[in-house]
Amino acid sequence: MKKKEKKDRKGKADAAKEVATPGMWRKFAWHHVRTQLPPDWEVPRYALADRVGRVEFNTRRGLEATVSWEPCSREPDRLTTMTTFLVNNILGKQNAPNLRSDDISTATVGEFLVGWLDENTPCQAMAFNPATMHLVRWVFEGHSSRKGRDEIIRPILEAFDFNDDEDACEYNIHGVHCKLPWDYKIEDMVVLPANVMMNFESETTKRKVVLRRWGLADMVFRDSDLAGFYRPILLTNSIRVDGSTPCHVNGHNASRVTFNAPREHHKERFMSRRWKNGKAVIWHDEPENRIYACEQIGPEGTPELDFTEILPGITITD
C-alpha cells in the first residue's frame, strides 16, 4: 500500500471522536437493511432500487460507512468475496498483488462475517439472506481498531435484520418512518434541509402513497391551521382539497383531509379525469418542531391502506 494512503486512513481512524452509547442511537430502515446507527450519522446518498443498490453514511468527519445489497444466484464464499473486494475496490491490485484470504482477521457478529486487514484499512461485514438471495455488505471507514469494532461495528451488526417481514417493508430515513406492503415501490424521493417527500406506488393496484415531513415548523407553519398550510402545497401538484376535519395524532393537533387528484395515465390526464377518493392525515409535532403528512389515492375500487399500519406507532383520535 502507498504511504500516503496509509497516512490518510490512519488520520481517519485517529479522528474518530468518543462514541455515543447505543441507547442514544437512532433506527434506520431501507430496503434490505434495518438496524440502529450513531445519532450523528447522516445519509447523503442512497439508491431507490430494491434489487441492487447502496446507502452512504457521513458525519462532519467524512464517510463513515456504506451498506450495499446485490442479488446472488447462490450463497457466495464470504471470505473469498471479501478478499476480492478488498484488492479490487480498496487497496488496488498494484498495492496488494499477493493478498490471500488468510491474511484477513475475521469474527462472526450476528448474521455477519466481519473481516479486517489492519487498523488503517476499512473493515468489511457480509451477510447472505437466502429468503431473497441477496448479499448485504457493510464497509466501515476508520473503525477497524478493536475499539471501533466493539463500539461502532458490533452494535450496528447486532441490531441488524434483513428488513424482510412477511407483509411489509419498513422505511426509516430522514425523519420519515413508514411500513408499506411489498407491492408498493418507491418512485421518487426529495430531501431538502427542512422538507422531505417520499412517493410510493403499488405495482398491482396503482394506488399512490406520499409521505412528507417539514422541519422548522414554527417558521413555516406560522398562523395558518394545518389544512390551510397543506392546501397550497397539494395545489402545486394539481391536487384539490375537498374537505378537512380536525383530529389528533398521538395527542398532537392534526387534520384529516379528503382530496381529488389527476389520474396518472397521460391520456386520462389529457381528458382531465381525476381520482376522487384521496385521503390524508397531517399533524404538528410541537416538541419535535416538525409537521408530518401522509396521503393516499388510487383508482376507484382499490383498497385503501390503514394509516395506523402505514405509520408505525401512531394513534388517530377525534
DSSP per-residue string spanning 60-106? TTEEEEEEEEEE-SS---HHHHHHHHIIIIII-TTT-TT--GGGSEE
140 and 32 both lie in a single domain: yes
140 and 247 both lie in a single domain: no
93 and 236 both lie in a single domain: no
Residue 71 domain-assigned (yes or no): yes
- pTM comes to 0.89
Q: Span 33-40, mean pLDDT?
A: 97
Q: How many domains does the chain have?
A: 2
Q: Is the pLDDT of residue 83 over 60?
A: yes
145 and 181 both lie in a single domain: no
Q: Is the pLDDT of residue 271 over 60?
A: no
Pick from 17-26, 68-77, 107-116, 244-253: least confident: 17-26
Domain containing 46 equals 3-158
Higher pLDDT, 289 or 13: 289
146 and 183 both lie in a single domain: no
Q: Is the pLDDT of residue 39 over 70?
A: yes
Contact by Cβ (8 Å): 20, 151:
no
Q: Span 185-214, mean pLDDT?
A: 96
Pick from 28-37, 179-188, 211-220: least confident: 211-220
> For 115-171, what is each residue's pLDDT tens digit?
999 999 999 999 999 999 999 999 999 999 999 999 999 999 999 999 999 999 999
Q: Which domain-ending residue is among 158, 192, 210?
A: 158
> For 227-257, what is each residue's pLDDT tens digit?
889 999 999 989 999 999 999 999 999 999 9
Q: How confident is the model at residue 20 (pLDDT cuts 50, 70, 90)?
A: low
> For 101-112, what is each residue's pLDDT tens digit?
999 999 999 999
Residue 93: its pLDDT value, please? 86
pLDDT averaged over the chain?
A: 90
Q: Give which of 314, 25, 315, 28 is closest to 171, Cα–Cα.
A: 28
Q: How confident is the model at residue 264 (pLDDT cuts 50, 70, 90)?
A: low
105 and 248 both lie in a single domain: no
Residue 46 domain-assigned (yes or no): yes
How far is residue 282's CA from residue 212's CA, in Å, rounded to a whole number? 9
92 and 205 both lie in a single domain: no
What CATH number is associated with residue 236? 3.40.1000.10
What CATH number is associated with residue 137? 3.40.1000
98 and 207 both lie in a single domain: no
Q: Which domain-ending residue is among 102, 123, 158?
A: 158
Q: Which domain-ending residue is among 110, 131, 158?
A: 158
Give percent above pLDDT 90 in the chain. 81
Residue 23: its pLDDT value, please? 72
44 and 139 both lie in a single domain: yes
Q: Span 22-41, mean pLDDT?
A: 94
Q: Span 27-47, mean pLDDT?
A: 97
Burial class (CB in 10 A: 0-12, 13-18, 19+), 149: buried
Residue 163 domain-assigned (yes or no): no
Q: How confident is the model at residue 21 (pLDDT cuts 50, 70, 90)?
A: low
Give percent above pLDDT 70 in the chain. 90
Q: Are strands 184-192 and 33-37 parallel, antiparallel or unpaired?
A: unpaired
